[in-house]
Chain A
Amino acid sequence: MAHRLLRDAEADGWERSDFPIICESCLGDNPYVRMTRALYDKECKICQRPFTVFRWRPGRDARYKKTEICQTCCKLKNVCQVCLLDLEYGLPVQVRDTALSINSNDTIPKSDVNREYFAEEHDRRARAGLDYESSYGKVQSNDTILKLQRTTPYYKRNRAHVCSFYIRGECTRGAECPYRHEMPVTGELSQQNIKDRYYGVNDPVALKLLNKAGEMPSLEPPEDESIKTLYVGGLDARVTEQDLRDHFYAHGEIESVRMVLQRACAFVTYTTREGAEKAAEELSNKLVIKGLRLKLMWGRPQAPKPESEGSEAAARQVAHSGMLPRAVISQQQQQQQGQMGMQYYNAPIPPPPQQERAYYPSMDPQRMGALVHTQEGSSSGGQGESKPGSSYPTMPPPPPPPHGQYYPQYYPPPYGYMPPPPAYQQQYQPPHQSAGPPQQYQHPMPVGPSASSSSGPGGASGSGQAPSTSSGAGPGPEPSAPEGSSQQ
C-alpha cells in the first residue's frame, strides 16, 4: 500500500485517530463490521480541517456511513461523529443543552481563523493529556432528558437514501438500484443544516422534541375527592417498597403501599387527600428512583367486570388490579356531562342486547350494521347510520339515544386503541387535538336500542360528547360512539 508521506502530521495540526467516536445506531447491529480508515481523507464539516475518515456498513440493509466531523469537534460537544447526536442520550445538541441547561456556545468560536485556532488549541491540549473541563461528564441527568432520550438504537436512519431518479419516475436501474424507491418525506424537518445542528441553533428536529417535552401534561387532581391513591408505573425489580416509601413519605402520611410486580406498578395510598395531591404535584414528572424513570398518575377504584369487546383495553384495565390510571378517564369525564355514577366504570358493562332492543321496538334491527356488541359492529353500525339517524327525528339530535348502550362501548374502543400504560401520557394530547376533526364526519349515532330510554336522552348528551373526546384518545378508532359528537 502506498504511504503518503506528509510532513509531520502533528505539526500541521491535522487529526489522526484510530477509531471513530460513534453511537450505537451508527455503528450498526452487526458485530462483524469491516471498517476502512483513510487518513486526512476529507475535511471536517464543521471546522474544515482534514481528519481521519472511517467508513463502514452498519448492517445488512444499511448504506455505507462515514465520519463527517473530526474528533475534536465531536469531543467539544460530546456527539457522535456521524449523526451529530449526543452520545449518551441520542438527542440533538439543542435538546440536550436546553434540557441540561448547558451553554457552551459562547466558548466555541464559529468563524474562520478563530475556530481553527480554538480547535487546534483544544486538540493540542487533549493530546497532551491535559484535562480540559468538559461539562458533559459532570451533569446529572434530569427527568426531562431521561424522558426524551432514546433507549434503543435506531437503525432506520442507516437506510439507503431515497432514489432521486425514482422521485422523478426515471429510475432505469430497477431492481438493482441500491437506493430506496419511496417518495421522500418532505416538510419542515427536512431542511436541516449540519452547522445548525452542531451548534444547537435553529434545529427543527430539536424544536419539535422540545415542544413535545413541554406539552407533556402534568398531573391534575381528580374530581373525585375521595381518591388518595397514586399509581406508579414502570417499576422494576430494583425498586422496592421501601424506596417508594422513602420517596413518598415526604408529602404526607402513607396509608399503604401496594406493589404489583407482574404489572410493574404500585399503588401508594395516603391517609389524606392533601397528601396525595401534594405528592402528585411534586413528583408528577420528576419521579426517578434508582435511575429508573417512573410514571405517576392518579389511581381510581375499578369496577371489576371486564368487557369482551374492549377486551384489550379492559384486560389492561383489569390488570391494574384495582386501580386505574385515572387521568385518562378523568379526561373523558371532563367532557361528559351527567355522568352520574358511571364514573367508576373502567370496564363498561354491556347491557344485554335483548333488553336494549326491547326499549325501542321501533328500531329496525335489520339496519346495516345492526347492533352487534363488538367494536366492528358498532363502527359499521356507526357508518351506516346516517339514514336511520334522520329517520328517527324523535331522538334528540346531538346524542343518540342508545347512549346508554354505547356509553360503555366507547370506553373500550378508546382503550382498545390505547397503547400500553407507559404511553398514557400521550393520550392526553390526542383527546384534545384530534377530537374535533375526526368526529365531524362520523355519522350520527345509530338509533339503536338503548339500555334505558329515560337515561338515554339524558345521558346521551353527556356521553355524546364524551365519545368524541375519548375516541379521540385512541389513534383513529372509529367506534360508533363518537358519531354522536358530530351532532353537537
Chain B
Amino acid sequence: MPKVKTSRVRYPEGWELIEPTLRELQAKMREAENDPHDGKRKCEALWPIFKIEHQKSRYIFDLYHRRKEISKELYEFCLDQRYADKNLIAKWKKPGYERLCCLRCIQPRDHNFGTTCACRVPKHLREEKVIECVHCGCRGCASGD
C-alpha cells in the first residue's frame, strides 16, 4: 500500500492553558451522546448536545473575542479542529444574535410560516413566559433578555 501521509496535529503555543477545559467539555459531550433516552421526549434527548456545543463555542469565542487571552493562531486552530462551531460564532458577532442558542432556531425553512423559533422572541413580547424551544431546549436567547 502506498504510504498514507496523515497530518499530525501540531498544537500552537498557549494550547496547554485551554486544553484541560476543552478536554473536559469533550468528555461531557461524549457522555451526553451516550446517555440513555429513557424518560425523555424524542426532541429532549438531543438538547444536551446543542447545549454543550454552545458551551464549547462560547468558551473559545469568549477567550478570543471578549477576553483576548489567546492568540489568533490558537483561535483559528480551535476552529479548524472543530473544538468550536465557526458558523455559530459568526452569528454571535452580529448585532441581535449575541446569545443565539443554536443555528436551527433561526432557520426559517425549518419553521411554519417562515418564522424563527419561539426562543428568539424576547420575554416581554411573548405570551407564554416559560418555554423550552423544541430544537435545543432553549428558554430564550434574544439579546435583550
Check if A36 sits within 8 Å of B113, measured CB to CB: yes
The tally of CB-CB contacts under 8 A between chains A and B is 13
- For the complex, what is the distance from the CA of A174 to the CA of B130, rounded to whole Å? 9
Contacts known (A34-B113, A36-B112); A176 close to B127, Cβ less than 8 A: no
Interface residues on A, range: under 10
Contact status B127-A60, CB under 8 Å: yes
Chain A residues contacting B128 (CB-CB under 8 Å) are 176
Q: Is A113 part of the binding interface, using a Cβ–Cβ cutoff of 8 Å?
A: no
A175 within 8 A of B: yes
Chain B residues near A173 (CB-CB < 8 A): 132
Return chain A residues, CB-CB under 8 Å to B39. Answer: 172
What chain B residues lie within 8 Å of A60 (beta carbons)? 127
Q: Would you list which residues of chain B between 120 and 137 have a CB under 8 Å from chain A?
A: 127-132
Which residue in chain B gives the minimum CB-CB distance to A61?
B127
- The interface residues of chain B lying within 8 Å CB-to-CB of A175 are 129-130
Q: Across the interface, which residues of B come within 8 angstroms of A174, CB to CB? A: 130
* Number of chain B interface residues as a range: under 10
**Which residues of A are found within 8 Å of B127, using beta-carbon distances?**
60
A114–B127 Cα gap in the complex (Å)?
A: 49
A176 touches B112 (CB 8 A): no
The answer to whether A176 and B113 have CB atoms under 8 Å apart is no
Q: How far is the CB of A177 from chain B (nearest CB, A)?
A: 9
Closest to B132 in A: A176
* Interface of chain A residues 282 through 313 with chain B (CB within 8 A): none
A173 to B131, CA, bound (A): 10
Chain A positions within 8 Å of B131 at CB level: 176
Most buried by B among A172, A175, A176: A176
**Using an 8 Å CB-CB cutoff, how does the interface string of A141-173 with B read, 1 for contact, 0 for none?**
000000000000000000000000000000011
- Type the 1/0 row for B92-119, where 1 means its CB is closer than 8 Å to any CB of A: 0000000000000000000011000000
Q: Which residue from chain A places its CB closest to the CB of B133 in the assembled complex?
A: A176
CB contacts (< 8 Å) of B130 on chain A: these are 174-176
CA distance A174 to B113 in the complex (A): 28
Q: Which residue in chain B gives the minimum CB-CB distance to A36?
A: B112
Smallest distance from the beta carbon of A356 to chain B beta carbons, Å? 58
- The closest CB in chain A to the CB of B109 belongs to A1
Residue of B nearest to A1 (CB): B109
Q: Which residues of chain A are near B132, meaning CB under 8 Å? A: 173, 176
For the complex with contacts A36-B113, A174-B130, 10 further pairs of A-B residues with Cβ separation under 8 Å are A34-B113, A36-B112, A60-B127, A172-B39, A173-B132, A175-B129, A175-B130, A176-B128, A176-B131, A176-B132
A-B contact pairs, 6 of them (CB 8 A): A36-B112, A36-B113, A60-B127, A174-B130, A175-B129, A176-B128
- Which 3 A-B pairs have CB atoms at the shortest separation, nearest pair first? A175-B130, A176-B130, A176-B132
